[in-house]
């Protein structure tokens, strides 16, 4: 773990751009390209059956024309599906971070595919923040934030002055930026491409249901929840990733804060799901080896249920007992909005998309694995601050002390490379 972080740090400085392990992968890719493998222009990433099945049996294309079995896919979804001409494919990851990461790794490393020019669209449902959007809305993320990558206490075990049980690594205050980074905390995608996707999806007539309309209306009395009480729309806002399916006002507000703080104030938490950072990490690692193009990633999430209740409904009712009515239209809108994006990219392939959409924002992770400078506060993530080094020196339990030693080593490495700590 420590050496991995150190190599990431070194890579971030661009002094050692590529690790020696690059060669076999690249060779394998070159070989696979000679074999005339499938080179999709568009890859739909679904997480589970309902998200996947909404793309099957449609008029526009037949994703079940080819099924390609790969080692390493989910036992529930052991095949990649592709159209007969291979232009459009679908991979179904299975749910949660581990499934997303392992399935996507198997896919991007497979010699049966050439993904160097593929557009990837994560297309799934998600919980939704009523301060930003509503049931059945279609959202496109700039940031994906792995919000639960923190210490966690049961709230009841903390003093009264804590507002949440989640505390960023190597800090003692929920409002601090983490001072220890695993590297997957924040991903930033290509904003120019995201905005094109929003334009394309905006031409869709979204599905809605009477049940969803009735539940939405309950949010109207709370001024902060105006967006939640209005009809569904297509919009840009950010996604949280957490294996824990959290719910309720306290946790949702805590992760609103996490998203804002970890993106230096620029991220707006609006949806919650369990996979995106994992899928993004895989695509990003593969980009580093020229197997994929991370600039071609779109994260679309449609809203299936509110992350917190409206006035008059309890926290537990909202998640476990009430029928919010958002699931059917959210599934439907994956297709209705997503098809516009797929068609837009294919229709504009020769003129625009084959050569790619040049990003105008920083694109990548907090380690700057793909180069550039993160615009969301890299240093506080990457290098432990002097204050924390001094304060926590040799205090805390064994694991915290080890984290401190690791941080010291990274700080020393950074200083040796001329980076101000």
Ligand X SMILES: *[C@@H]1O[C@H](CO)[C@@H](O)[C@H](O)[C@H]1NC(C)=O
| Cβ-based nearer residue to ligand X, 173 or 397 | 173
**Out of 254, 268, 322, 339, the residue judged to bind ligand X by CB under 6 A:** 254
Q: Whose Cβ is closer to ligand X: residue 158's or residue 220's? A: 158
CA distances from 329 to 69, 325, 326, 349, 352 (A): 31, 8, 6, 30, 31
| Nearest-5° Cα angle at 368, 244 to 386 | 85
| Cβ at position 192, least distance to ligand X in Å | 19
C-beta of 416: minimal distance to ligand X in Å?
A: 22
Nearest distance in Å: CB 166, ligand X: 8
Residue pair 376/188 in contact (Cβ under 8 Å)? The answer is yes
Asked whether position 412 contacts ligand X by CB under 6 A, the answer is no
Best CA proximity match to 110, nearest among 43, 20, 190: 43
Compute the least distance from the CB of residue 114 to ligand X, in Å.
14
Least Å from the CB of residue 125 to ligand X: 15
CB nearer to ligand X: pick between 180 and 188:
188
Stretch of 40-48, 162-170, 302-310, 396-404 contacting ligand X, by CB under 6 A: 162-170
Q: Taking a C-beta distance cutoff of 8 angstroms, is the pair 311, 228 a contact?
A: no
Cα separation, 96 vs 246, in Å, equals 13
Q: How far is the CB of 319 from ligand X (least distance, A)?
A: 18
- Site residues for ligand X, window 199-218 (CB under 6 A)? 207-208
State the Cα–Cα distance between residues 91 and 86, nearest whole angstrom: 13
170-199: which residues touch ligand X (CB under 6 A)?
172-175
The reply to whether 332 sits near ligand X by the rule CB under 6 A is: yes
Interacting residue with ligand X among 162, 213, 349, 396 (CB under 6 A): 162
Is 161 a binding residue for ligand X by CB under 6 A? The answer is: yes
Shortest distance in whole angstroms from residue 375 CB to ligand X: 4
Tell me the window of 158-166, 190-198, 389-397, 404-412 that interacts with ligand X (CB under 6 A). 158-166
Q: Which of 257, 389, 396, 400 binds ligand X (CB under 6 A)?
A: 257
Among 32, 118, 139, 164, the residue binding ligand X under the rule CB under 6 A is: 164
Q: What are phi and psi for residue 9, nearest 5 degrees?
A: -60, -45
Q: Report the residue closest to ligand X, judged by CB.
A: 163
Both tokens of residue 267? 């991220």
User: Are 172 and 162 a contacting pair, CB within 8 Å?
Assistant: no
349 binds ligand X, rule: CB under 6 A: no
Measured from the CB atom, the residue of 102 and 361 that comes closer to ligand X is 361
Query: 17-46: which residues touch ligand X (CB under 6 A)?
Result: 18, 22, 26
Kindly state whether residue 253 participates in binding ligand X, applying the rule CB under 6 A: yes
Whole-number minimum distance, CB 209 to ligand X, in Å?
A: 6
Position among 111, 265, 311, 348 found at the interface with ligand X (CB under 6 A): 265
Verify binding: residue 375, ligand X, rule CB under 6 A.
Answer: yes
Applying CB under 6 A, which of residues 213, 230, 264, 343 lies at the interface with ligand X?
A: 264
Q: List contacts with ligand X (CB under 6 A).
A: 18, 22, 26, 64-65, 67, 159, 161-164, 172-175, 207-208, 250, 253-254, 257, 264-265, 289-290, 332, 375, 377-378
């Amino acid at each position: 773990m420590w050496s991995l972080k150190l190599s990431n740090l070194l890579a971030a400085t661009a002094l050692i751009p590529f690790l020696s392990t690059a060669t076999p992968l690249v060779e394998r890719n070159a070989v696979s390209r000679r074999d005339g493998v499938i080179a999709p222009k568009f890859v739909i990433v679904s997480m589970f059956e309902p998200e996947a099945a909404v793309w099957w049996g449609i008029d526009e294309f037949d994703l079940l024309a080819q099924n390609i079995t790969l080692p390493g896919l989910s036992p529930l979804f052991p095949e990649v599906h592709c159209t007969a001409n291979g232009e459009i494919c679908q991979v179904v990851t299975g749910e949660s971070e581990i499934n997303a990461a392992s399935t996507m790794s198997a896919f991007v490393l497979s010699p049966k595919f050439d993904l160097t020019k593929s557009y990837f669209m994560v297309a799934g449902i998600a919980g939704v923040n009523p301060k930003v959007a509503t049931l059945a809305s279609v959202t496109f993320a700039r940031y994906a934030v792995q919000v639960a990558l923190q210490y966690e206490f049961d709230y009841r075990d903390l003093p009264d002055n804590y507002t949440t049980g989640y505390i960023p690594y190597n800090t003692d205050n929920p409002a601090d930026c983490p001072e220890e980074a695993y590297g997957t905390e924040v991903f930033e995608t290509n904003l120019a491409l995201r905005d094109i996707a929003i334009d394309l999806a905006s031409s869709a007539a979204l599905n809605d249901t009477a049940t969803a309309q009735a539940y939405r209306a309950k949010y109207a009395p709370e001024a902060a929840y105006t967006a939640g009480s209005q009809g569904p729309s297509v919009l840009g806002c950010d996604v949280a990733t957490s294996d824990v399916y959290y719910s309720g006002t306290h946790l949702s507000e805590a992760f609103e804060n996490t998203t804002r703080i970890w993106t230096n104030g620029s991220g707006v938490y609006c949806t919650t799901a369990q996979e995106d950072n994992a899928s993004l990490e895989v695509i990003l690692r593969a980009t580093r080896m020229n197997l994929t193009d991370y600039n071609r990633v779109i994260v679309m999430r449609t809203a299936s249920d509110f992350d917190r209740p409206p006035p008059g409904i309890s926290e537990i009712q909202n998640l476990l007992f009430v029928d919010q009515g958002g699931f059917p239209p959210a599934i439907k809108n994956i297709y209705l909005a997503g098809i516009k994006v797929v068609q837009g990219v294919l229709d504009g392939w020769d003129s625009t998309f084959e050569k790619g959409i040049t990003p105008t924002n920083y694109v990548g992770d907090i380690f700057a694995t793909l180069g550039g400078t993160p615009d969301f506060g890299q240093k506080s993530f990457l290098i432990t601050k002097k204050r924390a080094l001094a304060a926590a020196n040799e205090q805390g339990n064994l694991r915290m002390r080890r984290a401190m030693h690791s941080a010291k080593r990274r700080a020393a490495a950074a200083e040796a490379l001329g980076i101000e700590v």
